[in-house]
Amino acid sequence: MYASGLIFIFLFPFRSGVVSPISSITVGLILLLPTALDGFTQLFGIRESNNQFRVITGIPLGIGAVLISEGAVILLYNLF
């Protein structure tokens, strides 16, 4: 999660202005869904998670968190 988020932060200059803040937040929220699905299936005892699932769901989580954060910052910057 942290590594994918950090890499995505460093790629910001190459993709700034390409995507609108609203679509950035929307895509970020969609990328959070695999982690939510993994967490709920564990919570209800449907299955047990392992390190492989955590890596697979952690990569989109890191990217999604960065997208949501930068979309929110850009929206707030444009407000003021």
Domain residue spans in the chain?
Answer: 21-79
Residue 44 DSSP code: T
What are the distances in angstroms from CA 18 to CA 2, 30, 47, 76?
23, 18, 39, 18
Tokens of 25: 């937040």
pLDDT for 44 equals 93
- Global pTM value: 0.85
Tokens of 40: 């709920």
Average pLDDT over residues 46-75: 92
Q: What is the pLDDT of residues 5-42, one digit of tens each?
A: 888 888 877 776 778 899 999 999 999 999 999 999 99
Q: What is the pLDDT of residues 39-50, one digit of tens each?
A: 999 999 999 888
